[in-house]
Amino acid sequence: MSDEREKAKWAAARAACGMVEPGMVVGLGTGSTAIKFLDLLAGRVRQEGLKITCVATSEGIGREAGLRGLAMVPGFPDFGPVDLTVDGADEVDPAGNLIKGGGGALLREKLVALASRRVVIVVDPEKHVRELGHAFRLPVEVIPFGWSRTVQALRDLGADPEIRLQGDGFFRTDQRNLVVDCRFAGIPDPAGLHARIKALSGVVETGIFPGLAHAILTGRPDGTWDLCELRR
């Protein structure tokens, strides 16, 4: 990754960290920009004595949060309302629809987003696209039982599906499910495609996040950032 992109990610993470207020329940997203936000948030907790509790969107980010001294909400992995979630995205279209799940945490990320009063997506400029799905494959989480039949059902919907691998076997999500990365010739109707895929037996969740973001925070290499508020 270029140094310019890294600088842009840090700019977005710093701006998002400034949105956290004492007493908040904070959703911790998964991804390269989200981990930068985690580092900065832990710094505020140490230096300012900021009192917050957190909800992690993956087991990996939960471990990283624990190493930095951030506390999860009582009863975690169960959780109630979340005040602010800061998460990344693989693609963002002009309406604020997202593709997420490059790291495989799409189900937990979506559950936390749905529980959040405010979802701020932190990205660098390269994550903005005219239309979802041209450059990035859409992740779809599926159960292992009968997975090849589910893959064929995705193919029948017009996808070019490819099951995600890791090492010598299948990639497994935190729920021990599989991920099928689907190439489409663009996704002009994100909500419609999400609904059609979700209706397939064997599908757990899709990486389309239609209308879930409240704001898109885009960092720039010069350290500045833009905040685009979305009507929800």
**Catalytic residues, which ones?**
109
| Cβ neighbours around 199 below 10 Å, total | 10
Distances (CA, A) of 202 to 154, 191, 222: 10, 19, 45
The closest alpha carbon to 142, from 112, 164, 166, 109, belongs to 164
Distances (CA, A) of 204 to 79, 214, 218: 20, 24, 30
Q: How far apart are CA 98 and CA 108, in angstroms?
A: 15
**The pairing of beta strand 25-28 with beta strand 84-87:** parallel
CB 172 within 8 A of CB 166: yes
DSSP for 84-104, written as a single string = EEEE--SEE-TTS-EE--TTS
Q: What is the DSSP letter of 127?
A: G
- Please state whether 167 falls in left (phi above 0), alpha (psi between -120 and 50) or beta: left
Distances (CA, A) of 6 to 2, 124, 126, 203: 6, 8, 11, 34
